[in-house]
Copies of this chain bind each other. A is one copy, B any other.
Amino acid sequence: MARKSSPTKRATLEDVARAAGVGPMTVSRTINGHPYVAEETAQNVRAAIRRLGYRPNHAARMLTGQLSRSIGLIVPDIADTFFSVVSHAVQETARESGYLVWLAASDEDPTIEAAQVEMMTHHPVDGILLVPADSRNSYLKTLASGTTPIVTIDRPIEIATTDSVGVENRRGARLAVEHLIQHGYQKITCIAANSHLLTIKERIAGYKESMRRAKLSCPKELRLSSHSSVKSALSELFGSRNRPDALFTANNASTIWVIETLQELNIEMGKDVALVGFDDVAFYTLITPPVTAIRQPATELGSMAARLLLQRIKGEFKASSVRTVLPVTLTIRESCGCKKRDDPFFEAE
């Protein structure tokens, strides 16, 4: 106790060795659980470690070429409903393996992203989990050919090959649009934010595919470039003579912006126009009407990517890069035009 108040330097391996009356190597071996340490010696060492409050110096270990037991995770936005869930899952999975995670946000800016990747790789981290802001940015080629294992989440790299974990974007879009078609809607418009992303293009392609198959005329998708542009875009869309009777919003940003704007324009969702969104968010149940959406397994995405990366790091996974695609599901609520069935008061209303 008295010892604690004096801010003496932290005990080193040598201090422990001296206190236990052994050589430094014996301490090192004991700590690292090597075989060939007499049990009695090991106990002495452990006692000394406890007595001195010894903790190995991470930097010194690193310098001798050990793994850092840390990974990096770079997402566009930590506060995003989807990426925050992914991040949480990554962190949890890493923790279970004794790994620490660096978390950084790119703000969808490849320059920031590259700078963070650079800091992390030279820190160094043992591996990186990445949601690329621009999957064609040339720095990714260098990164992918480097020695640090990379696993992309949600958005694969287009100009190089790495492990990736993503979801069925095209099939999810088809699920959504076909549900709308089954309801009998004919004028279905696709609305998307971040439409430059490959994932979103896939969803738009899925939409088109379903429209074509159903022999419905397929209007050009509406691309939302910013929150502020939504109102005028929707006013125009709903003012046109080809006013849609249903909407497929291709990501959570577009879904939320559209719902908000429909309210402002006094267009009643689920009545004046149906809506199904891609990416399900917890609070969609609280909206009136509750919104029908394609659910992406965000937690699985994060933990699966983290597990894959950890396997790569440990060299347990020698195969060439794998591309994992997780299934999505349609969560039916009411914005698509379906009715709640389990509530006796519902019809009375």
Contacts and interface: CB of A to CB of B under 8 A. Distances in A.
Nearest to A259: B286
B287 A260 contact: no
Nearest to A102: B100
Contact of A91 (B104, B119, B286, B288): B104
B95 A84 contact: no
A46 to B, nearest CB: 17
A290 to B, nearest CB: 9
Contact of A105 (B88, B104, B116): B88
A33 to B, nearest CB: 18
Contacts of A119: 98, 100
Given A87-B103, A120-B100, A287 B288 contact: yes
A266 B345 contact: yes
A60 B58 contact: no
A256 interface: yes
Interface of A: 4, 7, 55-60, 62-63, 70, 77-80, 84-85, 87-88, 91-92, 95, 98, 100-105, 107, 112, 116, 119-120, 122-124, 145, 147, 256, 259-260, 263, 266, 281, 283, 285-288, 343, 345
